[in-house]
Structure 1
Amino acid sequence: MSTGPAGVVAGRLSFLDRFLTVWILVAMAAGLGLGRLVPGLGDALAKVTVTGVSLPIALGLLVMMYPVLAKVRYDRLGTVTRDRRLLIPSLVLNWVVGPALMFALAWIFLPDLPEYRTGLIIVGLARCIAMVIIWNDLARGDREAAAVLVALNSVFQVVAFGLLGWFYLSLLPGRLGLEQAALDVSVWEIARSVLIFLGIPLVAGFLTRRLGERAKGRTWYETRLIPRIGPFALYGLLFTIVVLFALQGEAVTSKPFDVVRIAVPLLVYFVLMWAGSMAVGRAVGLDHPKATTLAFTAAGNNFELAIAVAIATFGATSGQALAGVVGPLVEVPVLIGLVHVALAARRFFPRPAPTAGPAASPESSAHV
């Protein structure tokens, strides 16, 4: 039996958590199989949408995010918002480094495929506000820091997405003498996506904790209620993955070479962003939970928004939309792999001083 950090943590996980990678791979395969074998399934799933995203996916995301946001200790958010070592690197990594890196990789790997290239650039502009909460929680990141950084990304997303889209898809290519399709998306479309996919589960999670602690106290809330609702985060995740892959099963399996071409720069992007952000966190003196949160919030992308924008601007059957769909196909297995790397990386960070009280440790309450 492993005695390293990852092995110790794994021993505390439930059966569902311990084999999460297996369940995700099964969900991916099931989705691809359903999308390929059941005629018209993708069209049926895509008929009803919320902000351009299939209703089943939207429901899955809401179910996925609610339990994690219900675990956040909202009375501790003030200490996070005052931590400049965390906030400033996060803003720079998300809104300067991330879009620039994806722009460069898209042109390096896909110079002859303008539709796919545009789709990748859109993915790079959409910073993560959903699944990153799951990856952060599984990797024992700081929940309160994740809540703050996700909220910060949401605000900047509303303000900066359209501006960055104009810069990377119109101004910069023109200045460099490159041909690139422009992006036309309204601030309201982005704000609506943020309000639905972050606002609803955030309010629900806050009210659940507030009312639950007021009625029965924090000990009951974290030892009795959280273990009951926690597993629904993974149920929502697996359901979302099945539906997402089913929606594009035929397109993905019918164009395997194109998918590989799109996947390579995405793979490079996720690994570079995650590893670089983790190194930045270590360099500026963050502890392991906060460095982990910094890494996952910088490496993840808001595929819901990217796919919705690509479909609304270029059409559901466009190369841009396919590139958006390939994003989570690569992101899901890569980031679940990086969860294990993050757990193993705890040995490279100073150990936190022990704190009195059973509720002080982030691992004392039931996990996802």
Structure 2
Amino acid sequence: MGIFEKYLSVWVFLAIVIGQLLGLVFPQHFQQIAVLEYQNINLVIAILIWAMILPMMLQIDFTSIKSLSKKPQGLFLTLSLNWLIKPFTMFFIATFFMSYIFSSYISEEVAQSYIAGMILLGVAPCTAMVFVWSHLMKGDANYTLVQVSVNDLIMLFAFAPIAGFLLQVSDIVVPYETLFTSIFLFIVMPLIASILIRQYFIKNLGQIIQKLKPLSVISLLLTILILFGLQSDNIVNNFFHMVLIAIPLILQTYLIFYLGYFISKKIKLTKNIAGPACLIGTSNFFELAVAVAITLFGINSPAALATIVGVLVEVPVMLHLVNIINKKYKPTLK
């Protein structure tokens, strides 16, 4: 593991601090980045996410995907966590804390908006970042790709009705073009690029992968820096509320992870399958959640702020969960 991966939590913290400071000192530059959008997806962030996952996809031997039907338990676990459990536990935990525990500190209107943002996080399963988490815990790259692809396909049809039901807004407008564009940018494009690179540069593939590995972590850090730079004013003006939002998000993350971890042990999944299955079910497609929250409620809305807190919470917590899997889950489990 290289220096970037070994001290990733340190680099993430520095990226957050630097992004926050730069956003306060040079807000006009971040606004110039913010307007570079298509279908409510920021193109700069899209490129960085693309660069994040390409090195991971290059390591995938696509000819082995056909054998995944022999071990479907991990896929079933991921789908169950993402679509039958996670959105609903997020709704109940967010409502319990925002409407009851923290009711003395947050108005009812703001609390409902925070709940909406957290629900959008809960209904958007991880797409891009899970390749990073899977790589860090030596997960099966082929299996991770299939899990993400199936989740994205289901998300096209399940995101709107589940979000609409939980938000209790029958006429909620979900930007399907944003969903389709996100999947094309974050999955299809790097997938095609990796196939072409493997086909035409097969002799030097090992060297190419080795050289591109740092690109994933650097892109992650730049993504975090830009997101926090864009929301620097919101973060400063609502810091106490951010702490309150983080509490139920952290509890939800650990709840889903340990539920997946427990089930993985019970059904005796190997580490390279159980790890990605638990992490996909735990983490969020925060880029999509941020885009939808901004589209539905506005860039300065409490709902958008809640999704930004999701970014802040997810990275350090997911690094801790990766560490738990690497230390406690036996690779040879049969």
1:221 aligns with 2:205: yes
**Matches of 2:322 and 2:125, distance apart in 1:** 19
Question: Does the CA contact (< 8 Å) of 2:62 and 2:142 recur in 1?
Answer: yes
Aligned partner of 1:9 in structure 2 is none
Q: Is contact 1:41–1:246 with CA below 8 Å preserved after alignment?
A: no
Find 1:288's aligned residue among 251, 257, 271.
271
SS at match of 2:133: helix
Q: 1:129 aligns with which of 127, 130, 134?
A: 127
1:197-276, aligned counterparts within 5 Å? 197-213=186-202, 216=203, 220-222=204-206, 224-276=207-259
Please state how far the C-alpha of 1:149 moved relative to its aligned partner.
Answer: 0.4
Please say if residues 81 and 148 of structure 1, whose CA atoms lie closer than 8 Å, have aligned partners that are also in contact: no
The 5 A counterparts of 1:1-368 are 13-111=1-99, 112=108, 113-170=111-168, 183-213=172-202, 216=203, 220-222=204-206, 224-347=207-330, 350=332
CA-CA distance at 1:36 after TM superposition: 2.1
Q: Distance in 1 between matches of 2:232 and 2:316?
A: 16
CA distance in 1, matches of 2:329, 2:244: 34
Deviation track 1:177-210 (CA, whole Å, cap 9, x = no partner) reads xxx6963114333122211221111111222223
Structure 2 letter corresponding to 1:197: F
The alpha carbon displacement at 1:130 in A equals 0.7
3-state SS of the aligned residue for 1:110? helix
Map of 1:363 onto structure 2: none
Q: Which residue in the other structure is 1:360 paired with?
A: none
Q: CA deviation at 1:89?
A: 1.4
Letter in 1 for 2:241: D
2:105 is matched with: none
The letter for the 2-side match of 1:167 is: F
Q: Note the C-alpha offset of 1:38.
A: 2.1
CA contact (8 A) 1:102 1:120 kept: yes
Percent identical pairs in the alignment equals 30
The residue type paired with residue 194 of structure 1 is: I
Cα-to-partner distance string for 1:160-179 (whole Å, 9 max, x where unaligned): 11111222122xxxxxxxxx
Report how many aligned residue pairs link the two structures: 324
- 1:30-57 deviations in whole A, cap 9, x for unaligned? 1111112223344222111133232221
Give the TM-score, by structure 1 length. 0.84
Q: Separation in 1 of the partners of 2:129 and 2:217?
A: 11
**Letter aligned with residue 186 of structure 2:** F
Q: Structure 1 CA distance, aligned partners of 2:266 and 2:218?
A: 36
Q: Structure 1 counterpart of 2:180, which letter?
A: A
- CA distance 1:181–1:334, change in 2 (3 Å): farther
Alpha-carbon RMSD: 1.7
1:303-362 deviation line (CA, Å, top 9, x unaligned): 111111111111111111111111111101111122211211234x5357xxxxxxxxxx
2:123–2:163: 8 Å Cα contact kept in structure 1? yes
Distance 1:57-1:186 versus aligned 2 partners, 3 A rule: closer
Moved more, 150-159 or 20-29: 20-29
Question: Runs of 5+ in structure 2 lacking a partner?
Answer: 100-107
Letter in 1 for 2:91: F
Q: Counterparts of 1:295 and 1:182 in 2: how far apart (Å)?
A: 33
Once the two structures are TM-superposed, the CA of residue 225 in structure 1 deviates from its matched residue by 2.2
Q: Tell me, which stretches of 5 or more residues in structure 1 are unaligned?
A: 1-12, 171-179, 353-368
Bigger mean CA offset, 49-58 vs 313-322 = 49-58
Q: For residues 237-268 of structure 1, give each alpha carbon's deviation from its aligned partner in whole angstroms, at most 9, with x where no partner exists.
A: 11111111111122112211110111111111
Find the residue that maps to 1:40 and give its secondary structure.
Answer: helix
Task: Give the CA deviation at 1:68.
Answer: 0.7
Distance across 1 between alignment mates of 2:44 and 2:210? 25
TM-score in terms of structure 2 length = 0.92
Say whether the 8 Å CA contact 2:91–2:119 is kept in structure 1.
yes
How far, CA to CA, are the matches of 2:222 and 2:177 in structure 1? 28
Residues 167 and 288 from structure 1, CA distance in 2 versus in 1: closer, same or farther, beyond 3 angstroms? same
